[in-house]
Amino acid sequence: MTNGAIKALADQVRNGDRGALARAITLLESDAADQVLERQALLEAVLPQPETGIRYGITGIPGSGKSTLIDALGLQLIGLGHRVAVLAVDPSSTRSGGSILGDKTRMNRLAVHDAAFVRPSPTGGALGGVARRTREAMVLCEAAGYDRVLIETVGVGQNELAVERMTDLNILLMLTGAGDELQGIKRGIMESADVVVLNKCDGENRRACERTRGDLQHALQLLPARANGRRPEVLLCSAMEGTGIAELADHLERSIAQDRSNGAFAERRQAQWSDWLDGAIADALSTEFARDARILQAKEEYRAQVTKGHVSPARAAAELIALFRKGGAPPRE
């Protein structure tokens, strides 16, 4: 793409053109080395992003009703005058391929709404890659006028820990059940929650939810307070019946307003950028190292020596890096 074409695409994105937004996200999702400069130019053409955007992370194990909750919460936020983008960071849905469509189907009201944009985020490659792509897609969505971005993750593995560091507020979705409220969710995930939402609190489940709320509130008291000084509240809702959704949206928006006024919001945003920079450096270091032909050849020679026990891996690594630095960066096209 020429600089002019990138500029034109960025302008279309800024004008809220959905097709352009989708194309721009696809471009940023590429790992192709020869598109690095295009990706940077595109991203910078939409920076700095509008100050109005808010990023909500929504984490929950499979079956906790994330999609249904996002559908209901998204509509509620639209009702409050916002435009809503949904980015799904779900390793399993990407692997199976089919369930991306499944996600869209479950978010059946949001998926067809003019004020919403639903996009699964591919996970291919390293964890750092997922984080980078999600962050870049998020910035594009904000530039396109979606001022509430919902980032959905499953509460297993490491992904949601990265997501916690790219959102302004993190919602942990849980279910009540036979004693398993506190199981299956790792301590680290609980610690990164700003709000805990018990879903499916309808019908006969309502009373059990009330009990679980008490248990959870007790457990949350034992965790360190969040950086903004708050401890997560536990809210009940039924995404299916639509109960508790207005209260949840209200709680989220009030929390953000409070964080904005006491400086916690700005601090968290700064940490998000800082984290993004660190991730970008780690990504780029390993990428540049891996695509340097001289290094690759030398590495194979060292690998043979290391495998025979003739050279220690640490020495091989040190010498390869010296070679990497001595040569200087290869000329860029």
Which residues of the chain form contacts with a second copy (CB under 8 A)?
Answer: 36, 39-40, 43-44, 47-49, 132, 135, 158, 269-270, 273-274, 276-277, 279-286, 288-289, 299, 302-303, 306-318, 320-322, 324-329
Place of tokens 């990497």: 324
The one-character DSSP state at 108 is T
Q: Where are the beta strands (DSSP E) in the chain?
A: 54-60, 84-89, 116-120, 148-154, 169-175, 195-199, 233-236
CB of 173 to a second copy, least distance (A): 20
- Smallest separation (angstroms) from a second copy to the CB of 56: 20
Give the separation between CA 325 and CA 320, rounded to whole angstroms. Answer: 9
- Between 227 and 322, whose beta carbon lies closer to a second copy? 322
Q: What are phi and psi of 117, to 5 degrees?
A: -140, 120
Report the C-alpha gap between 214 and 230 in whole angstroms: 17
Shortest CB 128 distance to a second copy, Å: 11
**Nearest Cα to 144, choosing from 6, 57, 25, 40?**
25
Beta pairing partners, 238: 243
Q: Which is nearer to a second copy, 257 or 281 (CB)?
A: 281
Q: State whether residue 327 is helix, strand or coil.
A: coil
CB of 107 to a second copy, least distance (A): 27
- 101/284 with CB nearer a second copy: 284
Give whichever of 263 and 327 is closer to a second copy, judged by the CB atom. 327
Q: Which two tokens stand for residue 253?
A: 């928006």
CB 73 within 8 A of CB 249: yes
E-strand stretches of 157-308: 169-175, 195-199, 233-236
User: What length does the chain have?
Assistant: 333
Taking the least distance from each CB to a second copy, the nearer of 146 and 324 is 324
> Could you tell me which residues come within 8 angstroms of residue 107 by beta carbon, excluding any fewer than 6 positions away?
67, 68, 70, 71, 74, 86, 118
238, 68 in Cβ contact below 8 A? no
Shortest distance (Å) from residue 96 CB to a second copy: 14
Nearer to a second copy, 5 or 284 (CB): 284
Rounded to a whole number of angstroms, the minimum distance from the CB of residue 191 to a second copy is: 15
CB of 164 to a second copy, least distance (A): 17
Q: How far apart are CB 139 and a second copy at their closest, in Å?
A: 9
Output 229 or 313, the one with its CB closest to a second copy.
313
Task: Rank residues 39 and 82 by Cβ distance to a second copy and give the closer one.
Answer: 39
